A and B are shown apart, each in its own frame.
Chain A
Amino acid sequence: MKERNWLALGIAAGIIGSFYEFVPRKTIKSVAEFLLFDIDILGHRIRHNDLILVGVILLIVSFVSFYKVYKLRKVK
């Protein structure tokens, strides 16, 4: 992947990850009900902590993308 694509991935994952990680559940609900993913997946109800875990995973993706951009720029 090119540097520009890593940067775009880092920004997108960072924004979505931060939204689910740092924004209170009430605020997310007030923005739009469906953003809480109040559904069952394979018999498991999606809870608040599951969304927090998804947020953490997206923040990891974001960090690694920015780290990759840093590494690519260092090589140049």
Chain B
Amino acid sequence: MSKFYSNFLFSIAVTAVMNALDMVYHLATGWAVHLNYVAIKLTVIFLSVWMITQFIGIGKEEGVVASIFGPFMFYIYYVFAGATLNREMFKIDEQFWFFFLHAALMLIAYFAAWSFAKGKTHWARTTGFILAAGFASIAFDALFIMIRMRLNGLDEETAAGLMTLSLVSVPVIAYILGVIAGVLIDRFIKKNYLDRLAAGIIAFALIYLFSKDLVHAVFAFAFVNIAYYIIHGYKKGIASKSQ
């Protein structure tokens, strides 16, 4: 696996996990989650992580630098960009104190992804994997929900108003339970691909059971498998680099 590709996958994982943690926090505390702002956040955070990973490296110092620099650049964008969403109706994370929250979430995301690849203890690798695979799937799911709203013709403000914690709570539980089940299956059965298959099926079943939305459930199965591919992909690349 090329260095570029494994760095690319690592950056996608960190960006997705950071944004999923951020989205869950915002929805739980009543702040708006809006597709256009999420797209900007994904772009800025991804570029910061990818450029540091590609040209400097992966490590503790790089993780701390990326975790401070990425959210700071995002804050700079907020300060100088013009408002596109009605601030009287929706609260957006543009205050300065959000920089500290974003930096903390980014630290969690970076070191979860990093510890799965480089963690010394089994406990650190497993926790890193559950956080990375679970929250990366949640990020893909939240993007799927927002893009589907946009394709259904909902305007920006209605879509932001409909994006609530209750809408993502079932996917959050489904993905976390699915990934934990996958980890347990991997630990006790150790059969190739059975863990990701089981994790995907559990996410599919739970989402279909609670939402009766077959398309969403099929995508959930795909998102878990994409998250597994990304995380195992960068781990392989990092392991081959360190040999």
Contacts and interface: CB of A to CB of B under 8 A. Distances in A.
A73 to B, nearest CB: 13
Contacts of A59: 73, 76
B125 to A, nearest CB: 27
Interface stretch (A27-35, A36-44, A50-58): A50-58
A53 B43 contact: yes
Q: Classify chain B's interface size.
A: 10 to 19
Given A21-B76, A53-B43, A57-B47, A63 B69 contact: yes
B65 A52 contact: no
A46 interface: no
A59 B55 CA distance: 15
Interface of A: 21-22, 48-49, 52-53, 55-57, 59-61, 63-64, 67-68, 71
Counting from the closest, the 9 A-B pairs by CB-CB distance are A64-B51, A49-B81, A52-B81, A56-B77, A52-B80, A60-B47, A68-B55, A56-B73, A60-B48
Given A60-B51, A64-B56, 10 more contacts: A22-B80, A52-B77, A52-B80, A53-B77, A56-B76, A60-B48, A63-B69, A67-B52, A67-B65, A68-B55
